[in-house]
Structure 1
Amino acid sequence: MNTDTYLQHIDTEGRTLIDAVAAAPEAAVAACPDWTNRELAKHMGDVYGFVMAQLRAGNPEARTPPDATPAPDTGDIAPWFRERHQDVLATLRATAPETPVWTFGPDKTAAFFFRRMAHETAVHRWDAQQAAGALTPIDSELALDGVNEVLEVFMLHRRVNEPPESSLHLHRTDGEGEWMLVAKDGTLTVTNEHAKGDAAARGSAQDLLLYLWGRGRGSLECYGDDALIDAWGAVTP
């Protein structure tokens, strides 16, 4: 997936997120129990501010403090978030993907944030729409890339919880895509292959993506020990 495609998704997903927040600002966000859509919009605006700071600094050696443009304490938050969304898009468009920048992943170029913001925006758009009661699906190819990002970046380099000592096979059903995750002796490996795991989950790229981000099993077909499946689904949120 190239940077132009990521920018298109950031644009369209962000606009849809704004619409969901504007429609139901006080709706509770199921994946983030302490948030309403208003808090979700504030989080996204703050994330955009952080990303803009890294891109503008162009310093791969050190994290730059985020651009602090606070959200309004009261009233309609959608205009503030709309401005932040347009600002991050403009900043990304003005930055060459190969520009060295600080990131929390192995890729220390601006390309990291093109990809990251596409998935951050898409998943939180899904959250906001779920809260508002009007869901539309995440693009299947974007979701596939999102699964790969979770596994390549977050599972291997930024996980919140350690996976259970076991193996998990993931199988995409709306196109090509299979992964084998093995946690053994404190080491996690991820490969693209068809193999039998201690547990398995089959479903669309979207359902696999949302499962890996702690949004539950959705329509996944799951096999094996339920505790293992739940534990693997709690590694990265």
Structure 2
Amino acid sequence: MNTETFLQHIDTDGRALIEAVSAAPEAAVAACPDWTNRDLAKHMGDVYGFVIAQLRAGNPEARTPPDATPAPGTGDIAPWFRERHQDVLAALRATAPETPVWTFGPDKTAAFFFRRMAHETVVHRWDAQQAAGTLTPIDPELAFDGVNEVMELFMSHRRANDPPDSSLHLHRTDGEGEWMLVAKDGSLTVTNEHAKGDAAARGSAQDLLLYLWGRGRGSLECYGDGALIDAWGSVTP
């Protein structure tokens, strides 16, 4: 996927997110304990503010603290979120993808944030819509790229939990895509191949993405040790 496609998804999914929040601001967010949709909007707005600061600073050597208006403590959060959403889109559009910036991954260019914000936005859009009862599908190719991002970035560089010593095979059913994950003694290798693992899961790119982000198995077809499958689904932060 290219940066323009990522921008389109950030725009569309960000708008859908705040529509769901506005429809049900106090609805509980299942994937984020103790959060309401309003809390989710605040989180996303804060993330956008942080990204804006990194893009504007253009300093790959040091993390830049955000300098932005905090979310209102009470009342309608939508105007604040919409401003942040438009500001992050404007900051991304004003920054060449190859521009050096600070990131929490090995890629220290602005391209990192085009991709990262597309996936951060769509997963939390799904969360907000689930809470509001207005779910719409995730674009299959965006979800496929999101699975690859998890493999390339979070499984390798930013895990919340180490995976169990075991192997897991994931198979996408709505397009091409297979991943073999093998963990041993805290190290992890990921390959794109068809192979037999200790456990396996088959499903759409959307279901695989949501599973990897701790949103449960959904409609996945799962094989093997269920405890292993659940443990692999809790690796990302």
Return the TM-score normalized by structure 2: 0.99
Cα drift, residue 69 of structure 1: 1.5
Segments of 4+ moved more than 4 angstroms = none
Q: Which runs of 5+ in 1 are unaligned?
A: none
SS at match of 2:168: strand
Q: Distance in 1 between matches of 2:186 and 2:70?
A: 41
Q: Distance in 1 between matches of 2:30 and 2:222?
A: 22
Q: Distance in 1 between matches of 2:93 and 2:186?
A: 40
Which deviations, in whole Å up to 9, do the C-alpha atoms of 1:60-94 show, x marking residues without a partner?
Answer: 00100123320001110011000100000000000
Give yes or no for contact 1:168–1:199 (8 Å, CA) kept in 2: yes
Matched residue, 2:55: 55
Cα drift, residue 186 of structure 1: 2.3
Give yes or no for contact 1:180–1:192 (8 Å, CA) kept in 2: yes
SS at match of 2:21: helix
Cα drift, residue 185 of structure 1: 2.7
Matched residue, 2:228: 228
Cα drift, residue 194 of structure 1: 0.5
Matched residue, 2:28: 28
Cα drift, residue 33 of structure 1: 1.3
Q: Distance in 1 between matches of 2:175 and 2:64?
A: 39
Return the TM-score normalized by structure 1: 0.99
Cα drift, residue 40 of structure 1: 0.1
Q: Is the aligned partner of 1:182 residue 2:182?
A: yes
Q: Distance in 1 between matches of 2:67 and 2:118?
A: 20
Cα drift, residue 220 of structure 1: 0.2
Larger mean CA deviation between 58-67 and 111-120 belongs to 58-67
Q: Distance in 2 between matches of 1:68 and 1:182?
A: 42
Which deviations, in whole Å up to 9, do the C-alpha atoms of 1:170-218 show, x marking residues without a partner?
Answer: 0000000000000013210011111000000000000000000000000
Q: Which runs of 5+ in 2 are unaligned?
A: none
Cα drift, residue 27 of structure 1: 0.4
Give yes or no for contact 1:52–1:67 (8 Å, CA) kept in 2: no
Cα drift, residue 230 of structure 1: 0.4
Q: Distance in 2 between matches of 1:179 and 1:25?
A: 37
Give yes or no for contact 1:167–1:199 (8 Å, CA) kept in 2: yes
Which deviations, in whole Å up to 9, do the C-alpha atoms of 1:35-67 show, x marking residues without a partner?
Answer: 000000000000000000000000000100123
